[in-house]
Structure 1
Amino acid sequence: MNKFSHIGKDNKPKMVNVIDKSITKRRAVAQAIMFLGKEIVNLLNGTEIHTKKGPVFQTAIIAGVQAVKKTADLIPMCHPLPLDGIDIDIQFLDEEAIRILCTVEMEGKTGVEMEALTGASVAALTVYDMCKAISQDMIVKEICVIEKTGGKSDIKK
């Protein structure tokens, strides 16, 4: 049985000690799939939805980047990290759904999966917030890591 990495011998929470780990290039990509519905997508103007609050996707990208940088403030056992790159991309999957991809990279001793997940999540929540006056039928369907490299194990989905 695997031991939880954030529980100490005394069964209390702890931050993982990475002092003896090697510095490697770390990369993680997380996605959020979001159902918007035709009503919202029909408001599309080129590649952006404009609302009274401003451009939805551009605002969501900025919010996602800010969230990545604040991950250690939001999730107690995450290390504050010297991030090298953050990229958030929003793509239409079909006439009702979008895919938000958050890619985070750095050189360090611990991974950036939580940062990528946080960025994708907050970007999706920002889209919801900016479009909720039009429809509250939106659904954030799936948030997951689809790629991770640079640690003990790599993931590619």
Structure 2
Amino acid sequence: MVGLTSVEFALAAFHRDGEWQVEQLTESVLVDVETLAAGLHRFPADGGALALIGLDEDAFLVVRTSVAQTRLLLSDITTADEWELARTAVEHLGLPFPEDDDEEAPAGDLTLLSDLGVDADTLAQLVDEDRYADEVLSEVAALLGFGAAFDRAVGLTSS
């Protein structure tokens, strides 16, 4: 398993007073999904918080918390063999761990952002595109309304 150094970026996004806020997540909450969810609960959000995490340049994890539940989407289930955080995501979902010959495929809840304006079909299409994790999550952030803040936080520049 690769350690925490494989996490390229880890951001929390949350609504406060009707506006999106974006903050860096600390390494201490990137241990597993449960610790990450507990870390997201500390943000003073109107209706829960999101974590947008680039595991490497090709894989990402989106976690959404509310008082009642933790929902997530892992862009590629095969990453559970490489990253502990991805492994705990697969465990949280109650899915079998991938075999060596398994194909790349998303795992989790494609509807987790539907009420925020990114429906399951759009999210599935974005996950399926052959693009870097920061580019996909940048587009997701733009659709949600905090694209510029996300891009600044991860160091993306417009071309």
**Structure-2-length-normalised TM-score:** 0.26
- The answer to which structure has the higher helix fraction is 2
**Structure-1-length-normalised TM-score:** 0.26
- The answer to which structure has the higher strand fraction is 1
